[in-house]
Every structure is written in structure tokens, then in C-alpha cells.
Amino acid sequence: MHEMSLAEGVVQIIEDQAKSQDFERVITVWLEIGELSHVSPEAITFCFEAVAKGTIADGAIVEIIRTPGQAWCYDCEAEIQVPSLIDPCPKCGGFKVQVTKGQDMRVREVEVE
């Protein structure tokens, strides 16, 4: 389960920011997760809660923001939304598409005290 290592990375980012910005407690974490990232929102939330125990983020609420997958279609030269990595272009049916967005995960915002 790669969500565990991703959750550990999120907690590390939060702890690094706590040191540099001098906050004491995390209330809410907003994670932006691309539809094409293969990250399960339920699994990342579960893993975050597990790895945050005993840290500055212990008890923090995790809010998930899903971002759509986007790609460039070389056949019809259009920016398109794609629900998966193997679907054809919804405009022309072509398969010459290059994913441009939706494969990433990032910490969008952190509410702190």
C-alpha cells in the first residue's frame, strides 16, 4: 500500500512547516489528489490517521479534494478530460493522448493553531 508512505511524507511536510512557522497543532489538512494518481482517498485518510498518532497532526481532519484527469489529444489537438489512463479521446476517439494533469497529490492547505 503506497498510501502509507505518502501519508508519512505528508506528516513530514507538516512537521517541517511547524518548525519553520512555529505552530503547535494541526486542525485540518486538505489534500489535492488527482483522479489518475491511483491514490485511494479512503486509504490515504486511514494511513494519515495512523502515522499522525503522537505527532503535531494527531487528530487532524483530512479533507480530500479530487482533481480531474486532463490530457492533450494529438489527433484533434484539444485539451480533454480523461477518466482513466486507457480511455480514448472523448472528442475524436483517438488514443494518441498525453496526460497533462491529474496524476499528482499535494498538500493544498493546512489549518493550524
In a domain, 59, yes or no: yes
In a domain, 23, yes or no: yes
In a domain, 57, yes or no: yes
User: pTM, whole model, 2 decimals?
Assistant: 0.86
Which tens digits make up the pLDDT trace of 4-47?
999 999 999 999 999 999 999 999 999 999 999 999 999 999 99
Q: Classify strands 26-34 and 78-81 as parallel, antiparallel or unpaired.
A: unpaired
Range of the domain at 62: 2-68+102-112
Written in H, E and C, the secondary structure of 52-69 is HCCCCCCCCEEEEEEECC
Which tens digits make up the pLDDT trace of 54-107?
999 999 999 999 999 999 999 999 999 999 989 999 999 999 999 999 999 999
In a domain, 12, yes or no: yes
- Write the CATH number for 62: 3.30.2320.50
Q: Would you state the pLDDT for residue 36? A: 95
Residue 54 neighbours by CB under 8 Å, 6+ apart: none
Which tens digits make up the pLDDT trace of 61-72?
999 999 999 999
In a domain, 17, yes or no: yes
In a domain, 64, yes or no: yes
In a domain, 92, yes or no: no
In a domain, 79, yes or no: no
Q: Specify the number of domains making up the chain.
A: 1
Q: Which grid cell sits at 73?
A: 489529444
Give dist(CA 75, CA 8) in Å, integer: 41
